[in-house]
Amino acid sequence: MSSLQLSALRGTEEAESDLVAQIDLARLPRHIAIIMDGNGRWARRRRLPRIAGHRAGAQAVRETVEICSQLGVTALTLYAFSTENWKRPQNEIDTLMGLLREYLRKELAEIHRNNIRLQILGHYEQIPPEVCQDLEDALQQTAQNTGMVLNVALNYSARTELVDAFNAILDRMRDNGNRTREITEQMIAEHLYTRGLPDPDLLIRTSGEMRVSNFLLWQIAYAEIWVTETCWPDFTRRHLLQAILDFQKRERRYGGLGHNGA
Ligand code: IPE
Ligand code: IPE
Ligand code: MG
């Protein structure tokens, strides 16, 4: 972590810097993936329309991106909109797309300044063209950045991602005259939308739901899962730091035995 990043972190409020001090910066999760859930419930509890929850969630996105980049996380993947989310009322979908544009308009300069490279995981076709245009501009602007990769899963389905990967592999096999005889794990990983990135070490889901909702099914094979009852709009830098701290206390066994052989 650069001294600039460290001083930015130290400048945070006391409870937060306490958490930072406990984190082992040498053992950070390299890739954090987040299912940002509970915007609707957050709003309902306040007798507000669901879209107010989505609006409030944008601040949590801002804080999460900032702290992950300051800590030096390699990749952050945020689940913003699933292929199943098209089932929602049109006005909610329109609001979500509008909020994405607003987020880019307000945050792109800061993202770029922090050397963050934006990537979109998911299919563009169904996304309204004006949103696509903004996204493409943002992708282009940040394409050469060398800091944290910020993946936004948009119109995303993990099953579609796998089907896409298998089809790409089939194409490649045909191109080389069907000389390839078998598919390997490495080939699949190389054709996923997340190719080139480490698999998520830490998967966070807010609002207490215990499911993966078609998110990164291949990549989370050995991710540590951290679920909080907190709804996404109330998720702060402190929650993220706590999740990392808890992650660092876990023993990752990958099917083997623990450190003490038990
Ligand atoms: C997450 O919050 C945002 C998206 C899925 C786009 P929800 O809108 O799913 O909130 P709940 O689950 O209804 O509370
Ligand atoms: C998952 O949340 C998708 C996103 C966070 C974008 P959902 O709210 O759509 O998931 P389910 O319907 O509860 O499984
Ligand atoms: Mg939900």
What are the two backbone dihedrals, phi and then psi, of residue 158, each rounded to the nearest 5 degrees? -65, -35
What is residue 181's predicted lDDT score, i.e. its pLDDT?
84
User: What value, to the nearest 5°, has the Cα angle with vertex 133 and ends 128 and 134?
Assistant: 100
What is residue 97's predicted lDDT score, i.e. its pLDDT?
97
What are the two backbone dihedrals, phi and then psi, of residue 96, each rounded to the nearest 5 degrees? -60, -45
User: What value, to the nearest 5°, has the Cα angle with vertex 155 and ends 154 and 159?
Assistant: 110
The mean pLDDT values, 10 residues at a time, for the chain of 262 residues are 55 80 96 98 98 97 97 98 98 97 97 98 92 96 98 98 97 88 95 98 98 98 98 98 98 90 76
Tokens matching residue 25: 């910066």
**CA-to-CA dists, residue 236 to 30, 48, 63, 203, 210, angstroms:** 20, 21, 7, 16, 20
- What pTM, to 2 d.p., does this model score? 0.95
Cα within 13 Å of Cα(11), Cβ side: 8
What is residue 24's predicted lDDT score, i.e. its pLDDT?
97
85 lines ligand 1 (CB under 6 A): yes
What is residue 87's predicted lDDT score, i.e. its pLDDT?
98
pLDDT tens figures, 54-64: 999 999 999 99
Closest C-alpha to ligand 1, atom 1 = 37
Asked whether 239 and 228 are in contact (CB, 8 A), the reply is yes
Closest C-alpha to ligand 2, atom 1 = 213
Query: Which ligand 2 atom lies nearest to the CA of residue 38?
Result: 8
**CA-to-CA dists, residue 208 to 36, 58, 81, 87, 225, angstroms:** 11, 19, 18, 22, 12
Q: Could you tell which of 39, 94, 206 is best to mutate to test the pocket of ligand 1, judged by most ligand atoms within 8 Å of the CB?
A: 39
Quick one: CA dihedral 189, 194, 196, 198, positive or negative? negative
96 lines ligand 1 (CB under 6 A): yes
pLDDT tens figures, 75-124: 999 999 999 999 999 999 999 999 999 999 999 999 999 999 999 999 98
What is residue 11's predicted lDDT score, i.e. its pLDDT?
55
Q: How far is the CA of 71 from the centre of ligand 3 (A)?
A: 28
Span 28-157+198-248 CATH architecture: 3-Layer(aba) Sandwich (3.40)
What is residue 215's predicted lDDT score, i.e. its pLDDT?
98
